[in-house]
Chains A and B, each alone.
Chain A
Amino acid sequence: MKNYNLVVIGAGPAGLAAAIEAKKSGVDSILIIERDCELGGILQQCIHNGFGLSYFKEELTGPEYAERFIDEAKDLNIEIMMDTMVLEMTASKELVLSGPERGIVEIKARSIILAMGCRERTAGAIAVPGHRPAGVLTAGTAQKYINKQGLMVGKKIIILGSGDIGLIMARRMTLEGAEVEAVVEIMPYSGGLNRNIVQCLEDYDIPLMLSHSVTKIHGKNRVEGVTIQKVDENLIPIEGTETHFDCDTLLLSVGLIPENELSRQAEILIDGATKGMIVDETMQTSISGIFACGNVVHVHDLVDYVTEEGQRAGRAAAKYILGQREEINEPPYSTHAGNGIRYVVPQKINRNSKSETLYLFMRSKDVYKDAELSVKVDGLEILRKREDNMVPSEMIRLKLDKALIPTDGKEIIISVIQGDQL
């Protein structure tokens, strides 16, 4: 059984950044495992511009962003196995891999960084009634067909879900000559960034139907149309609001789920709200020496934050491997989502560790204007911060000075304060 100091699973932006950072921190014998036939993960099919504004201070396309990290990993001579799938992972850091070149291989690592990313929710996940005709596919699948293989998926398109991938695909399909009839969103607000509504929908006069959903797919062999209905405040379709749209394709942009099959195998603890692993501020999971970063922990909207998270995991894994990790015996602080907050990452914060600047990442449950975020430790408020505009589609990054947390504290709760509570 071959031994490595560090095995990184996944060569998307999180895994690449993590491996590079670990190498730069002095770790040798690093292996990156990637199941696809090229590096860079989903960035390779995200050919649109808009990546890297905060990290590189310039606007790059997905492939350009990926290439910078791929080049760096290669320059650092980090070993990479492509076309290779990790089939098994144990808590004792033994892995079973499979690939066409090597067959089944068993390896052991001193430390592992999990960077498997996420998957799209599919038609099955949203249970739309009707047959299962050809022409229903996830926005990301359509994106791969068009941008990498040059295959058009349809001519008359309805997009369900207004997440960023859905918006980006509305523009992409239009540019390639398809007619995008509408983007349909069940919530009263869009799931994507404002800038994408402007440059992907408004630029091309594509209607965004908020508080609407697709309630029936017509057609048996191929999609022939859909029924769209308005929904009430409980997201229940309102009778009498049915409208028929002719279309040959329905694209779904209805959310992403962290891909944690391997993590579950190793019995790593998962957060029910993020569907990702529970991590501390160094990105260590519930198993010592196993770290995680990127969309496998929580779904991000900006790759720059994924990169930073990967780097944090890489530095922490390096410390672990080099025997420099501070051992703390006392149980960590735990963070919790209070009123108006859906989740908080990291879920654990170690005590007394001389860690880097502490950032808490979270999403709001609803749209809040002119509200404030309140951080309380065991009922005592330690921080208040104004947030002009909170929307569920935009991750909030809150900087927290660790010195503010009382040493005997236990629970850190973050809540939204609004209206007359202010």
Chain B
Amino acid sequence: MNKKMVCIVCPRGCNMEVEYKDLNKIIVSGNHCKRGKIYAESEIKDPKRIVPTTVVIKDALFDRLPVKTEKPIPKNLIFEVMKLINNVTVSAPVKVGDVIIENILDTGTNVVASKSVERVKFK
């Protein structure tokens, strides 16, 4: 198999060529660093993405708290993960890195807060 691929690891976005017959022998070219090869291999074997989104937050200045999956999760689980995250409501205060959902869908990855939010009392 020959495949053209754009690396998404950094803003440089290297154009890569990926060649493989079986999954144990993946040859990557066009990448300017080793992260490109790691990305290309993972993209062929088991594509993963970090999912950044929000959850509802109470007692805060804004109504949404930004959250993210701590590590990339399998691409085909993104919408399922979104559904679970959208059912969550938290209350301020929250610290950046606080776990919002533990081990989401058994991926071994937590959903964590990506912002610290103080408690605000509205009159």
Task: List the interface of chain A (C-beta within 8 A of B).
Answer: 37-38, 44, 47-50, 53-54, 59-64, 67, 146-150, 175-176, 193-195, 197-199, 203, 301-302, 394
Contacts and interface: CB of A to CB of B under 8 A. Distances in A.
Interface string B9-49: 11101010000000000000000000000000000000001
Nearest to B64: A150
Given A47-B54, A149-B63, A195 B114 contact: no
B56 interface: yes
Interface of B: 6-11, 13, 15, 49-54, 56, 61-64, 66, 68, 75, 78-79, 82, 96, 114-116
Contact of B96 (A67, A146, A193): A67
Smallest CB-CB A-B distances: 3 pairs: A194-B13, A63-B115, A47-B66
Given A61-B66, A175-B78, A175-B82, A198 B8 contact: yes
Contact of A67 (B15, B49, B51, B115): B115
A48 B115 CA distance: 12
Given A63-B115, A195-B6, A147 B54 contact: yes
Contact of B8 (A37, A146, A195, A302): A195
A64 B114 contact: yes
Contacts of B10: 53-54, 195
A404 B47 CA distance: 47
Contacts of A67: 96, 115-116
Contacts of A193: 11, 13
Contacts of B78: 175
A195 B13 contact: yes
30 contacts: A44-B115, A47-B52, A47-B66, A47-B68, A49-B50, A49-B52, A50-B11, A59-B50, A61-B66, A63-B66, A63-B96, A63-B114, A63-B115, A64-B115, A67-B115, A67-B116, A147-B54, A147-B64, A149-B64, A175-B51, A176-B53, A194-B6, A194-B13, A195-B6, A195-B7, A195-B10, A195-B13, A198-B13, A199-B8, A203-B49
Contacts of A54: 10
A147 B66 contact: yes
Contacts of A148: 62-64
A150 B61 contact: no
Contacts of B6: 194-195, 197-198
Contacts of A53: 10-11
